[in-house]
Copies of this chain bind each other. A is one copy, B any other.
Amino acid sequence: MTRRLAFNLFDMTTTGHLAQGLWRHPDTERLQVHTLAFWTAQARRAETGLFDALFLADVLGVYEGYRGTRDTAVREGVQVPNYDPLLLVPAMAAVTDHLGFVVTASTSYEPPFAFARRASTLDHLTDGRVGWNVVTSYLPNAARNFGHREEIPHGERYQIAEEYLEVLYKLWEGSWDDDAVRHDTAGGVFSDPAKVHAIDHSGEHFRVAGPHLVDPSPQRTPVLYQAGASPTGLAFAGRHAEAVFVGGSTAEIVARGVRAIREAAEQAGRDPQAVKVFAELGVVTAESTPAAREKLAALDAFASIEGYLAKTAGGGPDLLAYEPDELVERLHERGASGAAGYNRFPPGTTVGQAIDSLRSVGQGAFFAVGSGAEVADRIEEWAAQTGLDGFNLRQAITPGSVDDFIAHVVPELQARGRYRTSYEETVLRERVAGSGPRLAASHPGARFRGAFAER
């Protein structure tokens, strides 16, 4: 049976998300990312293209790893300026009916009570179309923006995240009973006070009284996305994530990542297939193979190697600090800090080859250039090789990259039974997890249902 694949449009409320230097391309509108018009158009476009969701990445600081300064990131517009992603969702929701919105928010720096309220507000305003990409944040500058002298150690960040989620589950799942809101005009009961509960959480990192300020939204807990790759991160994802974003420089490495995620879910007592696994996808497509290759060359003419180096060095090695014939996977042993920047280059890549690869937007394990049929072929192959459930489509320029995908690749995938032809679900969780609107009973968040109810 042909398996349908899931596609999110990958974006960020910044000009230079993943395509560095491309802000200079004459056909891009990404210098308008500070306007509502840009985002309402983008949301309409994504819904026209029947994407599962618009997935908004985020960081809370600037990239300063490259040559020990933020100067290149600032000059090249590498994810700076960078606006608050949550604030774009309501305006985009107002012009769409089905599209999901996955927002990235960190568990490391802001109080859970306030975030619980924001997420519940968004879930109400979107009628249950919100997902949350849970991150613990990794940029040293982010830590220094929030009162820390340096990054919170990785293990501790995950301990905080674990307790943070517990607080949220208590607020989202346990604080208000399903029938708490009455709107009983005759009896004068807006909500039944016996069914609205304090949570009185008191843990190592947080103390939160409650009750939650917001009544139950369609999904209560937003759909949970995660991207942990370390053993700690993987275990965390296995426990909590309903969708996981995996990295990897080859299909084989990604396939291992997919298996590892499913095993982690199983170890946490959950259905391994209940976790949907996504990877990043880059596409340059046109009506013909030559036209697509020509388009790629025209895009690559604007690619900024300095911009990519600044981005890569945010969570990995400053490649220019090493000899060209050194293997990238050895740099860690040589004392280079970070980890996120390493896994974009296949094993055996030398520093020189790695730098050279940054001269093109065609990076990563899953990049396809060609006609719609050729791109669809690649996507089907990669899905078969890896067991991936879907992809996050990155953009080189906007709206071009999206429009091209919708015009050339989507119809091809639809004809092969790989892509939806209309929206069928009511809330995002039904689309992602196949059931809903609430968390599955086997999910750890579900144990707080009724946990504070009077017995």
CB atoms of A35 and B125 under 8 A apart:
yes
Bound complex: CA A86 to CA B81 (Å): 20
A188-196, A241-249, A288-296, A361-369 - interface stretch:
A188-196
CB atoms of B70 and A193 under 8 A apart:
yes
Which of the listed residues A13, A62, A183, A209 has the most CB atoms from chain B within 10 Å of its own CB? Answer: A209
Bound complex: CA A389 to CA B190 (Å): 37
CB atoms of A124 and B191 under 8 A apart:
no
Partner of A208 from the list B82, B124, B145, B215 (CB cut-off 8 Å) is: B145
Instruction: Tell me, rounded to whole Å, the shortest Cβ–Cβ distance linking A119 to chain B.
Output: 9
Instruction: Tell me, rounded to whole Å, the shortest Cβ–Cβ distance linking A129 to chain B.
Output: 11
Which of the listed residues A91, A109, A118, A146 has the most CB atoms from chain B within 10 Å of its own CB? Answer: A91
Q: A31-B183, A34-B124, A80-B213 are in contact. Are A75 and B193 (CB under 8 A)?
A: yes
Q: Which of A60-77 contact B (CB under 8 A)?
A: 60-62, 69-72, 74-77
CB atoms of B185 and A122 under 8 A apart:
no
CB atoms of B87 and A118 under 8 A apart:
yes
CB atoms of A74 and B125 under 8 A apart:
no
A16-24, A253-261, A405-413 - interface stretch:
A16-24
Judge if A15 is at the interface, Cβ distance under 8 Å: yes
Residues of B contacting A209 in the complex (Cβ-Cβ under 8 angstroms): 61, 141, 144-145
Interface string of A69-106 (1 = CB under 8 A from B): 11110111100111110111111011100000000000
Q: Which of A94-135 contact B (CB under 8 A)?
A: 94-95, 109-111, 113-114, 117-118, 120-122, 124-125
Partner of A125 from the list B91, B95, B193 (CB cut-off 8 Å) is: B91
CB atoms of B34 and A80 under 8 A apart:
no
Total number of A residues with any Cβ neighbor in B under 8 Å: 76
Bound complex: CA A224 to CA B111 (Å): 24
CB atoms of B183 and A75 under 8 A apart:
no
Bound complex: CA A215 to CA B79 (Å): 12
Bound complex: CA A37 to CA B80 (Å): 33
Interface string of A1-38 (1 = CB under 8 A from B): 00000000000010110000101100000010011100
CB atoms of B121 and A84 under 8 A apart:
yes
CB atoms of A34 and B125 under 8 A apart:
yes
Q: Which of A135-169 contact B (CB under 8 A)?
A: 141, 144-149
Bound complex: CA A60 to CA B148 (Å): 25
Judge if A400 is at the interface, Cβ distance under 8 Å: no
Judge if A207 is at the interface, Cβ distance under 8 Å: yes
Instruction: Tell me, rounded to whole Å, the shortest Cβ–Cβ distance linking A181 to chain B.
Output: 8
Residues of B contacting A95 in the complex (Cβ-Cβ under 8 angstroms): 94
Residues of B contacting A122 in the complex (Cβ-Cβ under 8 angstroms): 87
CB atoms of A193 and B74 under 8 A apart:
yes
Bound complex: CA A89 to CA B146 (Å): 25
Judge if A268 is at the interface, Cβ distance under 8 Å: no
Judge if A40 is at the interface, Cβ distance under 8 Å: yes
Partner of A111 from the list B91, B93, B147, B189 (CB cut-off 8 Å) is: B147
Q: A36-B125, A62-B211, A122-B87 are in contact. Are A190 and B76 (CB under 8 A)?
A: yes
Bound complex: CA A145 to CA B109 (Å): 16
Residues of B contacting A146 in the complex (Cβ-Cβ under 8 angstroms): 111, 113-114, 208
Bound complex: CA A53 to CA B424 (Å): 40
Bound complex: CA A35 to CA B31 (Å): 31
Chain B residue nearest in CB terms to A125 = B36
CB atoms of B71 and A213 under 8 A apart:
no
CB atoms of B94 and A36 under 8 A apart:
yes
Chain B residue nearest in CB terms to A114 = B110
Nearest 5 CB-CB pairings of A with B: A77-B190, A144-B209, A71-B193, A90-B91, A34-B124
- Could you show 18 A-B contacts with beta carbons less than 8 Å apart? A13-B121, A23-B183, A31-B183, A36-B90, A36-B93, A60-B213, A61-B209, A70-B196, A75-B191, A81-B181, A81-B213, A83-B124, A87-B125, A109-B114, A113-B146, A114-B146, A141-B209, A148-B207
Inter-chain pairs besides A23-B183, A81-B191, A88-B125, 11 sampled, C-beta below 8 Å: A31-B183, A76-B190, A77-B191, A82-B213, A84-B121, A90-B90, A111-B146, A141-B209, A144-B207, A144-B208, A147-B208
